[in-house]
Amino acid sequence: MIKKRIGLITLLMITIASVMAILKDFNIVAISDPAMMSVRWILAVVLFYFAIVKKNLTTWILVCMTIGIFVGVDYPSVAVAMQPLSKGFIKLVKTIVGPILFSTLVVGIAGHSDLKQVGRMGWKSMVYFYCATTIALFIGLAAINISKAGVGVDISNIPHTELPKPAVDPGDALMLEQLPENVHWLYKTLAFFRNIFPENIAKAIYDAQVLQIVIFSVLFGIGLAMIDEKKKKPLVDFCESLAETMFKFTNLIMYFAPIGVGAAMAYTVGHMGVEILKNLFMLVATLYVALIAFILIVLYPIALYNKVPIKKFINAIKEPVSIAFATTSSDAALPKAMSAMEKFGVPRKIVSFVIPTGYSFNLDGTTLYLSLASIFVAQAAGIHLSFSEQLLIVFTLMISSKGVAAIPRASLIILIATADQFGLPTFIIAAILGVDELMDMARTSVNVIGNCLATVVIARWEGEYDPEAPTPELT
């Protein structure tokens, strides 16, 4: 009864606050700023009490996100000063990534899987990843050509400061100078594959190089699987204990998630201001519509075809997705996404292989954004690109977008490199950075959704998905 009553009160307060905001924004009724501020903080108190009654981590995260927005609007200086809390939360989560990937992959390969299954999962995952991300690129291309968000932008008001160039290995730069331009693409592609192999596993874990950790762990697991049972068992048992410990460690860290997420949202609004929503609105709107279209046109049919229980899937992913949305970091959501998919009925050996690999090869939201943003830069610069030239950009991104680190704004490096390669002015990208935070929230969330769905698809293909698994309990 209490839950129902507080739910109705919360809904009433949200409605009142929303109506007042609309009336004020459209100058229908003159409402003073102090009055709006009072309504916001009354709503904050109601939401806080609602979260206490619900006793649910996802509710706490969403409530703290909302309160973070209020802090950013009303106390921007305090909000910006809260950034260390969000950074601290992301750093805390990143301490889990290396150990949890290593332990779960080794156990999955050496403890429960045969080596043929590892190979099968590998090629099936790569086929799925390339199909999904290629479709995402073309949806982004179609969306920006339909909306023409960059057409008519007055670039004379944009500061002509060039962004820093992407860092290039001196050895690679020297080699590229010596090679003819027509084979540069081949060298860069092979250099990418060279860089996925770790020279030092401790350094790879320190730098959060997910793909390098995956490669090392897979090879280590295969090597372990090839030795006799007596020598293999102690290491497998150790990795199994380490995996269980890291999942419990994740649960402990997630109690800090509402604070970290709330601080991240407060910083975003306080640093940029809500008025930023009015700047470059067409670009942001185009991205959001394109991402929604990708979910409805691609991910939803894939889920239906693979008989994924949609409501149960949404319930499973809403917590990692909300973390990804607020922190703009797929890494921050990785441990929770892995445990949620395991509870959803996907075997750990598949979860521990598909999600980490997908973090380098299946960033659907990021790849869609890259094709959209590249054409936006050309439109804003008044450069007409023919369909064949746009296709060339898309095919370049199909290669260069793979292996993008799952950290905030890493896609900026790929965007700058693509603009440089096709002679597009990079100073326009500096203007995009004004709303990049808003776009990063959406594309990172889609990255997490796409990778979670990929685990279910691969598990279905392997005949190992258990739809009767209990629904994840949200702590």
Q: Is the pLDDT of residue 407 over 70?
A: no
Vertex 189, ends 186 and 192: CA angle to 5°?
Answer: 150
Question: For the chain, what's the residue count?
Answer: 475
Q: Is the pLDDT of residue 286 over 70?
A: yes
Res 132: pLDDT: 92
Res 95: pLDDT: 81
Q: Is the torsion defined by CA of 328, 296, 454, 193 positive or negative?
A: negative
CB 335 within 8 A of CB 93: yes
Residues 221-235: tens digit of each pLDDT: 888 888 888 888 899
Res 406: pLDDT: 45
Taking all residues of the chain, what is their mean pLDDT, rounded to a whole number?
80
Say what percent of the chain tops pLDDT 90. Answer: 14
Residue whose C-alpha is closest to residue 356's, from 213, 143, 254:
213
The amino acid at residue 433 is L
Query: 116-195+240-255+303-461 belongs to which homologous superfamily?
Result: Sodium:dicarboxylate symporter (1.10.3860.10)
Average pLDDT on 85-96 reads 80
Give Dmax over CA atoms of the chain in angstroms: 78
Q: Which of 104-118, 174-188, 339-353 has the lowest mean pLDDT?
A: 104-118
Average pLDDT on 418-427 reads 76
CB 372 within 8 A of CB 286: yes
DSSP for 3-40, please give it: HHHHHHHHHHHHHHHHHHHHHHHTTSS---HHHHHHHH
Residues 204-225: tens digit of each pLDDT: 888 767 678 878 888 898 888 8
Residue whose C-alpha is closest to residue 18's, from 36, 44, 45, 5:
36
Element (H, E) at 344: helix 330-344
Res 317: pLDDT: 92
pTM over the 0.75 mark: no
Res 473: pLDDT: 46
Residue whose C-alpha is closest to residue 353's, from 96, 123, 90, 92:
123
DSSP for 143-189, please give it: HHHHH-TTTT--GGGS--PPPPPPP--HHHHHHHHHS-GGGHHHHHH
CB 189 within 8 A of CB 174: no
Residues 324-362: tens digit of each pLDDT: 888 777 777 888 898 899 889 898 888 888 888 887 778
Res 140: pLDDT: 92
Element (H, E) at 350: helix 348-361
Mean pLDDT: which of 23-27, 185-189, 216-220, 275-279 is highest? 216-220
Domain boundaries, the chain: 1-55, 116-195+240-255+303-461
